[in-house]
């Protein structure tokens, strides 16, 4: 390494050590995910979404894709999704999340479940075949399935998304706009979309009881949802004070660590395992 005007300068053609470290970390993440997919080491973690009003029960669960590393540890999506989401591995994970979710709906008829997808999944034939295969086996699965599409993904290909929604409506599948408020959705598009619900982005929910700016944003987002007859869910609810503010301002459901973290072993799976052992 040489110096120019007192500053360290890399030789021409040399790679920045930080860039090399980031690239190495990302490649390691890609390898981990690829191995997990290859060896069928993926699962869903389920988080409850609670009714805001009485009887305050579980409205449905959201299923989050997880991979297992070489030691068997459960790795959350935040550790790998940003690396794989725009790659083929990301599409494969979408397929696996949908497959795990539909299989859970088959095995546990008492639950409703939401699964994340992207607009890119719509044109991915393997993803479509997974959905069609399960619906062919049991048409009623669609009535308990909610597909979540992020605001950014929906607005990247609105015509593709609306066409897909229209084709899925006869199957009873519901749709939720995820991360509502995080991007610049054109409100006019709500008239052409078929969203049944919106999920207010967590950045506006955390600490909302004491943040007047976020309170104004939440009220506006709830108002938009109600205007378009959409169910309203608040994400990242972590305190009772935040929950009380949200309920008092018309939010229909609450999701967050206040009610439970995502778990690969929710109570309804454990209950089923127990009944099988007793039987």
Q: What is the DSSP string of 154-221?
A: HHHSHHHHHHHHHHHGGGT-EEEEEEETSS---GGGGGT---SEEEE-GGGTTTGGG-HHHHHHHHHH
Q: Would you state the pLDDT for residue 190?
A: 72
Per-residue pLDDT tens digits for 33-73: 999 999 999 999 999 999 999 989 999 999 999 999 999 99
Coil, helix or strand at residue 10: coil
Q: Would you state the pLDDT for residue 153?
A: 86
Residue 9 has pLDDT above 60, yes or no: no
Residue 25 has pLDDT above 80, yes or no: no
Q: Which residues contact 178 (CB under 8 A, 6 or more apart)?
A: 116, 148, 149, 150, 151, 199
CA neighbor of 155 nearest in space, from 175, 177, 174:
177
Per-residue pLDDT tens digits for 169-193: 999 999 999 999 987 556 667 777 8
Instruction: Determine if the peptide bond prior to 55 is cis (ω within 30°).
Output: yes
Q: Would you state the pLDDT for residue 270?
A: 72
Task: Count the residues in the chain.
Answer: 279
Decide: 190 and 209 in contact? Cβ < 8 Å.
no
Q: What is the DSSP letter of 7?
A: E
Q: Would you state the pLDDT for residue 274?
A: 58
Per-residue pLDDT tens digits for 137-174: 999 999 999 999 988 888 888 889 999 999 999 999 99
Q: Would you state the pLDDT for residue 123?
A: 84
- Give the whole-angstrom CA distance, residue 225 versus residue 196: 9
What is the percent of the chain where pLDDT is above 70? 87
Class for the domain spanning 33-267: alpha beta
Domain ranges of the chain: 33-267
Per-residue pLDDT tens digits for 199-242: 999 999 999 999 999 999 999 999 999 999 999 999 999 999 99
Q: Which two tokens stand for residue 143?
A: 């009535």
Q: Which residues contact 276 (CB under 8 A, 6 or more apart)?
A: none
Residue 6 has pLDDT above 60, yes or no: no
Residue 98 has pLDDT above 80, yes or no: yes
């Amino acid at each position: 390494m040489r110096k120019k005007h007192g500053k360290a300068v890399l030789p021409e053609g040399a790679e920045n050590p930080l860039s090399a470290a980031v690239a190495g970390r990302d490649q390691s993440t890609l390898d981990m995910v690829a191995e997990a997919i290859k060896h069928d080491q993926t699962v869903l973690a389920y988080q409850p979404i609670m009714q805001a009003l009485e009887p305050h029960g579980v409205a449905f669960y959201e299923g989050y894709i997880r991979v297992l590393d070489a030691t068997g540890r459960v790795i959350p999506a935040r550790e790998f999704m940003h690396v794989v989401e725009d790659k083929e591995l990301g599409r494969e994970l979408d397929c696996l999340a949908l497959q795990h979710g539909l299989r859970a709906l088959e095995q546990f008829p008492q639950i409703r479940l939401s699964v994340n997808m992207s607009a890119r999944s719509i044109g991915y034939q393997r993803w479509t075949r997974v959905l069609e295969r399960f619906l062919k086996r049991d048409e009623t699965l669609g009535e308990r399935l909610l597909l979540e599409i992020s605001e950014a993904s929906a607005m990247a290909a609105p015509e593709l998304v609306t066409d897909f929604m229209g084709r899925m409506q006869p199957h009873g599948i519901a749709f939720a706009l995820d991360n509502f408020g995080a991007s610049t959705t054109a409100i006019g598009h709500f008239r052409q979309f078929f969203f049944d619900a919106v999920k207010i982005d967590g950045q506006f929910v955390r600490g909302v009881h004491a943040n007047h700016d976020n309170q104004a944003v939440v009220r506006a987002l709830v108002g938009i949802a109600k205007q378009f007859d959409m169910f309203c869910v608040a994400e990242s609810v972590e305190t009772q004070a935040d929950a009380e503010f949200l309920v008092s301002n018309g939010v229909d459901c609450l999701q967050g660590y206040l009610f439970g973290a995502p778990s690969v072993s929710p109570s309804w799976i454990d209950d089923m395992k127990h009944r099988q052992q007793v039987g």
